[in-house]
């Protein structure tokens, strides 16, 4: 009897070398976020279904994994729970639920998986990690500037030197659409279409605008505006286009403040206004950001201000803004570019401890405890097989040293240590072996 062994569609197993790469990236991102005063938060993978439904737009609702009711209710086929779809909506729920315990200015990061029943594709999975960083309680543009700086620092620390942060403003988009003659109740639809400009081109956007009931003339005005962009003086052009629209002008000023502040941060020279940036999610209310590198279709991450989302849970608005980096996207690019340090392809252990007689195993376990106490990672080979087989195993696992504990060594209180790369061997007193092995490991790593 044998059964299906693949992971579920769009999901992946991470073997040791995969986990090490993921943990390397996560550790760097965490360290940078903590330098900015962000604190860790974690939420459950499973949420009440009404917490998630209706927060991500119509497309989002369909991509949410829903969990069947249990026991006597299972047969109803109804769902009461759902898998986390992003880290922002759960954050808004947490802010509302734990308000009394949280400071009025709350800066948190959260690095956890989310699940979307999307069609799997290269770099797009059904389980993927988001690395989110959000600040709640302030509407100052310093918040946006610091978020962009933190993300820029994180990417720089990972070795990226060619990313671009694009920034736009939801209110500005709204004003642009109004000026172009799109009715307010069609703005959401229009944004979903415009968001695909890079993917589907002008014709695709025009088609989708038409399908979504936006008139020919408005579509032309919108597309003309977005296709004639000149990044250098974009803010002035935008100010000109929205003209007397007050909300539009306020948005332009907000973007100007963020850009000015950003010229004093690590995002300087990397951030630029792009009026065609729309972002798919429906909860944004202010600045929106996205981060790209040339060799990746799609973004490394994105975010924005969402001043009304907490209010949907709390009944009272709390200003909020955040940025999310996609771990998988970062890993894809880093792997293709060879950006991981060579020491990461590290071994499962520093030393394989080999014995040849079952009767010697208690000695081996005592010695292993001594070496581990000194800090050596020791794999005790559990079977008293031939030395050649044990050495071959160590070699195949990249374990650099093999400790040989035979009858002679036990009698003399020593350990013979083979250096597999240098093809040398040394004998050490057992109580000095730990330090010696650690030093040898350090030398090999350099």
Which is nearest to 286 in space by CA: 300, 265, 303?
303
Query: Which one, 356 or 393, has the nearer CB to a second copy?
Result: 393
Query: Which one, 28 or 261, has the nearer CB to a second copy?
Result: 261
Q: Which residue has the tokens 């942060």?
A: 165
Query: Which one, 337 or 389, has the nearer CB to a second copy?
Result: 389
What one-character-per-residue DSSP string does 181-216 give? Answer: T--GGGHHHHHHHHTTHHHHHHHHHHHHHHHTT--H
The enclosing H or E element of 216 equals helix 216-227
Read off the tokens for 215. Answer: 């008139």
How far is Cα 394 from Cα 372, in angstroms, rounded to an integer? 18
Query: Which one, 288 or 309, has the nearer CB to a second copy?
Result: 309
How far is Cα 102 from Cα 95, in angstroms, rounded to an integer? 7
Least separation in angstroms between residue 123's CB and a second copy is: 17
Query: Which one, 76 or 424, has the nearer CB to a second copy?
Result: 76
Query: Which one, 6 or 246, has the nearer CB to a second copy?
Result: 6
Least separation in angstroms between residue 227's CB and a second copy is: 34
Least separation in angstroms between residue 30's CB and a second copy is: 10
Read off the tokens for 167. Answer: 């920034």
Q: Which residue has the tokens 């996205």?
A: 290
How far is Cα 17 from Cα 170, in angstroms, rounded to an integer? 41
How far is Cα 194 from Cα 226, in angstroms, rounded to an integer? 9
Least separation in angstroms between residue 362's CB and a second copy is: 4
Least separation in angstroms between residue 27's CB and a second copy is: 11
Least separation in angstroms between residue 119's CB and a second copy is: 11
Q: Which residue has the tokens 């990461």?
A: 344
Which is nearest to 348 in space by CA: 378, 388, 390?
378
Least separation in angstroms between residue 179's CB and a second copy is: 30
Least separation in angstroms between residue 88's CB and a second copy is: 14
What one-character-per-residue DSSP string does 219-239 give? Answer: HHHHHHHHHT--GGGHHHHHH
Query: Which one, 227 or 264, has the nearer CB to a second copy?
Result: 264
Query: Which one, 315 or 342, has the nearer CB to a second copy?
Result: 315
How far is Cα 177 from Cα 172, in angstroms, rounded to an integer? 9
What's the residue count for the chain? Answer: 446
């Amino acid at each position: 009897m044998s059964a299906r062994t693949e992971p579920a569609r769009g999901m992946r197993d991470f073997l040791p070398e995969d986990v090490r790469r993921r943990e390397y990236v996560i550790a760097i991102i965490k360290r940078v976020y903590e330098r900015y005063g962000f604190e860790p938060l974690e939420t459950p993978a499973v949420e009440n279904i009404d917490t998630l439904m209706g927060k991500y737009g119509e497309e989002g609702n369909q991509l949410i994994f829903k969990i069947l009711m249990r026991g006597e209710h299972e047969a109803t086929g109804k769902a009461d729970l759902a898998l986390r779809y992003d880290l922002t909506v759960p954050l808004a729920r947490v802010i509302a639920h734990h308000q009394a315990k949280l400071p009025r200015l709350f800066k948190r990061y959260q690095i956890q998986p989310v699940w979307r029943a999307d069609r799997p594709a290269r770099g797009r999975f059904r389980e993927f990690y988001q690395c989110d960083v959000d600040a709640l309680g302030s509407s100052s543009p310093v918040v946006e500037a610091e978020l962009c700086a933190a993300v820029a620092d994180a990417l720089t620390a990972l070795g990226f030197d060619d990313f671009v942060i694009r920034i736009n403003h939801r209110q500005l988009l709204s004003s642009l659409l109004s000026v172009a003659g799109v009715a307010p109740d069609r703005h959401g639809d229009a944004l979903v279409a415009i968001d695909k400009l890079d993917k589907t081109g002008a014709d695709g956007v025009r088609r989708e605008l038409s399908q979504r009931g936006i008139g020919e003339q408005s579509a032309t005005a919108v597309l003309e505006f977005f296709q004639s962009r000149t990044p250098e003086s974009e803010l002035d052009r935008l100010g000109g286009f929205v003209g007397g629209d007050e909300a539009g002008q306020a948005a332009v000023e907000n973007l100007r403040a963020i850009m000015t502040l950003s010229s004093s941060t690590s995002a300087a020279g990397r951030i630029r206004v792009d009026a065609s940036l729309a972002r798919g999610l429906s909860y944004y209310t202010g600045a929106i950001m996205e981060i790209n590198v040339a060799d990746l279709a799609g973004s490394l991450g994105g975010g924005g201000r969402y001043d009304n989302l907490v209010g949907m849970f709390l009944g009272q608005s709390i200003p909020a803004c955040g940025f999310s980096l996609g771990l998988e996207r970062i890993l894809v690019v880093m792997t293709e570019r060879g950006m991981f340090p060579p020491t990461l392809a590290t071994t499962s252990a520093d030393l394989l401890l080999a014995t040849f007689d079952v009767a010697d195993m208690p000695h081996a376990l005592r010695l292993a405890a001594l070496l581990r106490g000194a800090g050596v990672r020791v794999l005790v080979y559990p079977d008293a097989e031939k030395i050649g087989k044990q050495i071959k195993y160590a070699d195949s696992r990249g374990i650099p040293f093999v400790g040989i504990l035979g009858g002679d060594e036990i009698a003399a209180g020593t350990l013979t240590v083979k250096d597999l790369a240098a093809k040398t061997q040394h004998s050490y007193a057992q109580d000095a072996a730990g330090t010696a092995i650690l030093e040898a490991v350090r030398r090999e790593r350099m």
